[in-house]
Every structure is written in structure tokens, then in C-alpha cells.
Amino acid sequence: MDFNDTPEEAAFRKEANAFLSKHLELKAGAKPRQANESALARAKAWQKTKAENKFAQITWPKEWGGRGGTSMEAVIWGQEEAKYDAPTGPFAIGLGMCIPTVIAFGSEEHKKKYVQKALFGEEVWCQLFSEPSAGSDVAGLKTRAVKDGDEWVINGQKVWTSGAHYSDYGILLVRTDPKVPKHKGLTMFIVNMKQPGVEVRPIHQASGGREFNEVYFTDVRIPDSDRLGEVGAGWKVALVTLMNERLAVGGSPGPDWGEIMAYAKTAGSMDDQAFREKLADWYVAAQGYKLTKFRTQTALSRGQTPGPENSIGKIITANHLQDICNSAIEMQDHYGIMTDTDKMPADAIFQQSFMWAPGLRIAGGTDEILKNIIAERVLGLPQDVRVDKDRAFDEMKSG
């Protein structure tokens, strides 16, 4: 494993840093998450600036507005952009998950209509998979699509949809055939989030934010031309999206061992032997994850495609974040219940991230689902017993 850049990679890293330093300030530790209108406007402006300078999507072809670069250049860009105060949140799902799915399964008309506008920050996308009765078991979803001429009529509900309240489009997974086993009766569509019959209800979170949403579909009509993949092949399409999702949420956007160590020095906790032992554990875990990411980097540099081992990252970092924030809040004693960003250490980032961390352990696949993926697809262990594998969806008990 070679950790050094090649001359070409070093030149690109220098170019990326020069561009970033011209437009952004270096990040001074983790910051509270923002999802207000001003944050969205700032993110759109930054996305447009990146796209105009061919830094928006490094590996995308030039004809789509990308750079036509290598996977390693994309990794380098991600490493360097992470050092700066870059507002990338609203586009992580669209450009990281939705648009790659459109590119893989959409028509040429879809690509011409959607790809460049998303790349330049003109349109925001969301992913409509989870439902009240279908979270980790996405294939158990009940939102129905019934064919009516050249259109499909959609009725049902999605939940925990990040960014739906400011999204223009989404990719929607629905059930088109309940008479076959659950994985075989799904189909994927592109849906206009502003069209009649689509109702978005923001969910008020414990952190005070409203990033997630319930989305209701009432007789929503989608033309068959906006289907992604074949009818009944939606699970195959969804797997592409889910693999991209697990790559996208592999890291945790919150304080790490460095931030809590800095706070511990001011709080006088560095003399506590038990805390120092935990700090050492956090540092070792962070370094282990860093080296694991280097394995992915090495695979990319050799032209290989990283596989399900990327699920390791989210399990580690989500639990890591929750543990660090819990310890920091305990360190603050009874002041730990305060969330005032003007009065609390580190702008209350420990409080906010503590309330965000449990969601990170669910988004993109729960800990249990990802451990099964690692067990079955990385370690080669036997699969879980599935009694519903060959049963028609409408014959299965629910509720």
C-alpha cells in the first residue's frame, strides 16, 4: 500500500487546494448542521462555482459537465474539500446517489434533461425509499403504482426522506406487482416533487432541525417514460443507489477525537485516567478507519471497484460519533442539556451531533444490516434464513 501521490496526483492536489483556498475558509473544527434557506442558497452558489471550474464531479464525462478525471482524483478532491468550510450537504444525495442511478438506467433524454442542471446546483434531488413499515427491509415497501395507459398512478407514503422539502425531483421506488415475491415486484421512477398529489411534511427532530420528511402520494401520475430500468426490476436499480448511499454516508459529519481533546484541556478532564483511555481508543479507531479508507484508495488507483467492505466505515464512524458526543456532554455536567450555540463550548456541536448520531446509525442501512452485509459478502458466512424468499408479497402477513 503506497500512501504517496504520484506526480500527476500531487499536481492535481495542488490545483485543487489553490482553487479551494481562493473561494473558501479553512474549517475550524466541526460545525452545527444547517438546513435553512440561506444555507441552501450558499450551497447552490458553491455547487455552481465548482461546476463552472470542472470540480463538481471529477469522474463524470466532460460532455455532462464533469472533469473526465480519475477515481483517485475524486478521492483527492474529497480529502481536500473536507478541510474547508464547504456547504455540500444539499447535493450529497442527488449527485452521490440519485443522478448516478439516472445515468446508469435512464434514457439519453433523461441524461440531457437532468444531469447538468443537478451538477450546476440548479435542481436538488432526494431519494424516496423508506416507509413506515419498510426501513431496513426496503423490499417490504407498500407504496403502489398502477398502470393507466401511458402513465402510472402512485398512492402511498414515504418517510425519513432527507431534503424532500427543498427538492425538485426524486427517485421513487414503488410496488408494481404484489403477486410476486417482494424483491421482484418493484419498479423505480423519477418523480417531480412539485407536481399535484405530492405532499411533503417536515419532521421536527430532537435537535431542533427539520432535515427529514414524510412524503405522501395521492393519485400522483408519472409517465412511463420516466421509469428507470424495466418494470419489476426496481430492486436491481435500487441496489446501485444503495451502494452509492453507503459510500456517501461512510464518514461522520461531526466532532472527532481532536475536538473532544481540545475541549477536555479547557475542562480539566485530561487528568482523568478513564477519559485518557477512551481518548486513546477513539484515536486508534480513527486511525484504523483511515487506513481502511487507504485500502479503498489503493483499489481505485489500480482501477478496481471497491466492494461491500465500504460498509465498515459507517458502522465505525456512526458509533464513534455517538460515543464521543455522549462523553463530551457528560463532561459538561448539568450544562450539557443546553443547546445554545452562543453559550456552549464548540458552538454546541457535541449536543447537536449527539442527537444526530442515532440517525446516522440508521441512514444508509442500520448497524445490523451492514454487519450482515460484511458477514455474508466480505467474510463469506452463510446468509440469514429467509422464510419469505419465494412467497408472493400479498400473501405475507404484516402489521
Of the two residues 33 and 348, the one the predictor is more confident about is 348
Task: Over range 288-314, report the average pLDDT.
Answer: 74
* pLDDT of amino acid 199: 98
- In the chain, DSSP assigns E strands to 125-128, 144-148, 151-159, 169-175, 186-192, 198-202, 213-223, 227-228
* pLDDT of amino acid 250: 46
Per DSSP, the chain holds a count of helices (H) and strands (E) of: 13, 8
Please report which confidence band the pLDDT of residue 88 belongs to, taking 50, 70 and 90 as the band edges. Answer: confident
Cα 330 to its chain centre, rounded Å, is 29
Q: Domain-by-domain residue ranges, the chain? A: 7-87, 125-239, 249-378
> CB–CB of 193/166 below 8 Å?
no
CB atoms within 10 A of CB 382: 7
The tens digit of pLDDT for each residue in 91-103 reads 999 998 999 999 9
Identity of residue 306? P
Residue 129 has pLDDT above 80, yes or no: yes
* pLDDT of amino acid 255: 87
Residue 37 has pLDDT above 80, yes or no: no
- Give, in degrees to the nearest 5, the angle at Cα 384 between 381 and 386: 145
- On the 0-12 / 13-18 / 19+ scale of CB atoms within 10 A, 376 is middle
> CB–CB of 384/372 below 8 Å?
yes
Residue 330 has pLDDT above 70, yes or no: yes
Q: Where are the alpha helices (DSSP H) in 6-112?
A: 7-23, 37-52, 71-81, 89-93, 99-105, 108-110
Average pLDDT, the chain: 88
Least reliable range by pLDDT among 188-192, 241-245, 374-378, 390-394: 241-245
> CB–CB of 119/56 below 8 Å?
yes
Please report which confidence band the pLDDT of residue 36 belongs to, taking 50, 70 and 90 as the band edges. Answer: low
Task: Over range 303-312, report the average pLDDT.
Answer: 69
The tens digit of pLDDT for each residue in 14-27 reads 999 999 999 999 98
Residue 301 has pLDDT above 80, yes or no: no
> CB–CB of 208/269 below 8 Å?
no
* pLDDT of amino acid 219: 98
The tens digit of pLDDT for each residue in 250-273 reads 455 678 999 999 999 999 999 999
**What CA–CA distances, in Å, run from 394 to 153, 182, 234?**
19, 9, 18
Query: 280: number of CA atoms within 13 Å, CB side?
Result: 7
- Give, in degrees to the nearest 5, the angle at Cα 75 between 72 and 76: 90
Grid cell listed for 1:
500500500
> CB–CB of 126/101 below 8 Å?
no
Helix (H), strand (E), coil (C) string for 80-98 = HHCCECCCCHHHHHHHHHH
> CB–CB of 370/311 below 8 Å?
yes
CA 83, CA 2: separation in Å to the nearest integer? Answer: 22
What number does CATH give the domain 249-378? 1.20.140.10
Instruction: Please report, rounded to a whole number, the percentage of residues in the chain having pLDDT higher than 90.
Output: 56
User: How many residues are recorded in the chain?
Assistant: 399
332 three-state secondary structure: coil
Of the two residues 299 and 171, the one the predictor is more confident about is 171
> CB–CB of 235/287 below 8 Å?
no
Residue 34 has pLDDT above 80, yes or no: no
Predicted TM-score (pTM) of the model is 0.86
For 125-239, the fitting CATH number among 1.10.3330.10, 3.40.50.10170, 3.40.120.10, 2.40.110.10 is 2.40.110.10
111 secondary structure, DSSP code: I
The tens digit of pLDDT for each residue in 132-190 reads 988 888 999 999 999 999 999 999 999 999 999 999 999 999 999 999 999 999 999 99
